[in-house]
Amino acid sequence: MNLIKKFKAPLLLVLIYLVLAILWPEISGRSAKVAIDYLREMALIIPPVFVLMGLLEVWVPKEKIKKLIGTGSGLKGFFFSFLMGTLPTGPLYIAFPMAGTLLQKGAKVSNVVIFLGAWAAIKIPQLLVEAEFLGLSFTALRFGLTLTAVIVIGFILERLIKAEELPELQAGSNIPGRTFGGSRKSRPLVN
């Protein structure tokens, strides 16, 4: 019984696939193919990300992160966070564990939000392709509005949420948000 509780989400997914296979075999086949493709992609991407996170954990001291993007970093922290988010390529889910590690090492919430927002919507390689297909004026306007929104959201979240209030950071988890097989007691982020 404890094993069922531990794996209830994957078991529920298998049950849904079985129902789909019985009622709509074509949809179930397409859905399974998409799921397998995503699993393959993640199996190739996630291990190197965790290696990089481990290296970040060991090679970059907490004091360096605090200095670059921590509480007293000011505009330098904003620009560094923005630059960190615009340079990489790859799916956004790679950035979440990195963001958690940055928070654990003392980064400001607003700078982590700026990093995530830039990664999601303002990557330099994407901007070049966007300008080619949609025009420079469209790209510049979208870039400006997106950057403004990311900054505003970052500063709003900074006011509403303090890094030390995040449950994963209080627990000292090495993998933020890790709940594999365990239960997490939820509490409100804002009091």
DSSP string, 43-83: HHHHHHHHHHHHHHHHHS-HHHHHHHHSTT-HHHHHHHHHH
**In this predicted model, what pLDDT tens digit does every residue of 33-69 receive, in sequence order?**
998 998 888 888 778 777 877 787 778 888 888 999 9
**In this predicted model, what pLDDT tens digit does every residue of 103-150 receive, in sequence order?**
988 899 999 999 999 999 998 888 999 999 999 999 999 999 999 999
CA-to-CA distance for 99 and 120, rounded, in angstroms?
13
φ, ψ for residue 175 (rounded to 5)?
A: -120, 100
Q: What angle do CA 71, 108, 47 make, to 5 degrees?
A: 135
